[in-house]
Amino acid sequence: MRHSPTPPDQPPAADSAGQRPAIAWRPTPEQAAATRLGRLLAQHDLPSYEALLERAAADMDWFYRAVVADLDLEWYTPFRAVVDLREGAPFAHWFVDGRFNLVHNALDRHAAGPRASEPAVVWEGDDGATRALSFGELQAEVARLAGALRALGIGRGDRVGIFLPMLPETAIAVLAVAKLGAIFTPIFSGYGAAAVASRLADCDARLLITADGFLRRGSVVPMKETADEAVAQVPSVEHVLVCRRLDRSVPWTTGRDVWWHEAVADQPARLPTERTLGEDPFMIIYTSGTTGRPKGALHVHHGFPIKAALDLAYCFDLRAGDRLFWLTDLGWMMGPWQIIGGLTLGATICLFEGTPDYPTPDRLWAYAERHGVTHLGISPTAVRALMRYGTAPVQAHALATVRVLGSTGEPWNPEPWWWLFEQVGRGRCPIINYTGGTEISGGILSCLPIAPLKPCAFNGPIPGMVADVVDDTGQPVRGQVGELVIRQPWVGMTHGFWHDRERYLETYWSRWPGLWVHGDWALIDEDGYWYLLGRSDDTLKVAGKRVGPAEVESAAVAHPAVSEAAAIGVPDPVKGETIVVFAVLHPGYEPSDSLRAEVAEAVVHELGRALRPQTVHFVRELPKTRNAKILRRVIRAKYLGHADLGDLTSLENPAAVEEIGRLR
């Protein structure tokens, strides 16, 4: 499929039979040419996006030199080579010997230029409180905190845990740690003490930054108490720096605990940024696996930040002055990605402490309108949850500033995709479907602002990502499900797992020589569009037929009673596996045997009688992470009565797991 600009088209409408078109959105030639990606193609006389992918794969040196020039990135000391593969693809060295600090590119250069007085951070709390910081003001706050951290003994290479909700101080903390050449570990604000402690202990953190508490759906979350319980288990932590979010009385350990506002009070508003080597680490971000302890992905100054900026520029068309919002937490990769990538491009990052439907169902849409959001990122699960309130909450807000919708986290179902496109985007905004991972520093596949969009699909690999779909022998396949792999190293790839080189190699590089195996099932259709069908370890195999859970779930959600669904495979003596569906109903529907049969028949209608679910269970909610991913592995383990449910540190709603346990 060619991704060249295509003729303009009106927003598509359903035909007389109620069928929607195969292509949902097309840019006009003028729109495509005006994007950052369109300008990059024109600058290098490339006739199509495929031509860019081919040249980038054949000549990484040319591609990354073109990107860093286009993004106007700055090194303290120039690099002498783009990439060095002397240790092989798993341990590629990028921008060799260059001195680069992400804070210079994300903050210092903007604060010293014409954007100094422009907004860098806009924040809204659960209670409606708001704050904003210009690039100049943000630079001063980062300098003060960096000075305070240095006074507490933090320097290059030291590890610092950041256990905060999405506050202005969260962005300040990320930048202040990196400014010193230290390394931060982002920790989900909703974690319990054991999960916080395991991450602090694994990286031997010397300091934890937290808050006295925060608000969630109007209730106080007592964060300091959780931090105290965690730190008691981690001898390496010497100090706890506490941000006063709620001005509440909290337990205090004299000599260890320090108030943020007191620590920064006497610090100067200017402090030089460390001239780190680009390959110096700045972040260890933990990702949960299906088994074993969480993996600490190690990221360096000119890896994750450049990959985030590249993806935001060319996939999302983010520009200086735009306003980027993603419904996320710092503990999910999209938190650091939004902060570092957005600021590097000179955009305003919009942070939100609250939840999208509190105190009213229109909270998210009101936030986007109130703050002039141009790029609105949301997961499919969150969309499905907001659909329950109908269209009135979103239609009450013009959302005139929004020009790009983003999504990541899991595969789409068609109905929620169309709801986001038609109701939120009004048929005029592309949905940039984006998938990758913590170890990737962003995306592998994406939609493009210069290409037509198919619902739920990806246009293809992101520039610099040499991705493919292969069968069980490692050979490329088209038109059938296979493993998503990457054939070449890329800027942003993790520099391994913290203190666990062999686990990194085993996880991603051990199946086929020279191929990164990402762990997702994917498919490329006859038109060249790519689809994700779920994690490889979630895949169902029924009577010899392999099917992704997303396919089954999409079929179930197509029934008007079903709000969201999760599909798992359970052992069957005849078929090998059979399908069990867990479904959440829309308000107004009640569980019944007849409704169970209807949902099962909806799956049969879409996928065939061989894939009819053995059982459909109706549940109040599905087990999810804080970033709204459905934990299918936990559902399956609990339903089958396994004692070991795997890593549960990211679980948001334990009651949902217990409900599934009662269904056995």
8 A C-beta contact, residue 402 and residue 376: yes
* CA–CA dist 463, 448 (Å, integer): 10
DSSP 19: P
| Plot region of 479 (φ>0 → left; ψ -120 to 50 → alpha; else → beta) | left
CATH topology of domain 537-661: GMP Synthetase; Chain A, domain 3 (3.30.300)
* CA–CA dist 578, 506 (Å, integer): 30
What pLDDT score does 356 carry?
A: 96
Sheet holding 562-572, edge to edge: 562-572, 576-585, 615-618
Sheet holding 431-437, edge to edge: 130-134, 119-124, 348-352, 323-326, 375-377, 404-407, 431-437, 442-446, 460-461
* CA–CA dist 274, 271 (Å, integer): 9
Q: What is the overall mean pLDDT for the chain?
A: 92
What pLDDT score does 537 carry?
A: 65
CA atoms within 13 A on the CB side of 552: 32
What pLDDT score does 291 carry?
A: 44
* CA–CA dist 517, 409 (Å, integer): 18
DSSP H stretches of helix in 106-252: 109-111, 135-151, 168-179, 193-202, 223-231
- Where does the chain hold its CATH 3.30.300.30 domain(s)? 537-661
Question: Which of 119, 51, 114, 60 minimizes the C-alpha distance to 89?
Answer: 60
- Where does the chain hold its CATH 3.40.50.980 domain(s)? 104-118+132-264
What pLDDT score does 550 carry?
A: 79
Give pLDDT tens digits for 428-438. Answer: 999 999 999 99
Give pLDDT tens digits for 173-208. Answer: 999 999 999 999 999 898 888 889 999 999 999 999
Contacts of 639 (CB under 8 A, 6+ apart): 568, 570, 580, 660, 661, 663, 664
Question: Which of 640, 584, 580 minimizes the C-alpha distance to 616?
Answer: 580
Cα three-residue angle 207-125-243, rounded to 5 degrees: 25
Rg of the chain, C-alpha, whole Å = 24
Which string of b and e fits 511-528 if b means at least 16 CB within 10 Å? eeeebbbbbbbbbbeeeb
Q: What are the backbone angles phi and psi of residue 202, rounded to the nearest 5°?
A: -65, -35
Q: Residue 564 is which amino acid? A: E
The yes/no answer on whether domain 104-118+132-264 falls in CATH 2.40.40.20 is: no
Contacts of 234 (CB under 8 A, 6+ apart): 197, 200, 201, 205
pLDDT under 50: residue ranges of the chain = 1-11, 13, 15-17, 289-291
Q: What are the backbone angles phi and psi of residue 393, rounded to the nearest 5°?
A: -60, -40
Q: Residue 35 is which amino acid? A: T
Q: Is 353 exposed, middle or buried, given 0-12, 13-18 or 19+ CB atoms closer than 10 A?
A: buried
What pLDDT score does 292 carry?
A: 52
Give the chain's end-to-end CA distance (angstroms, integer): 47
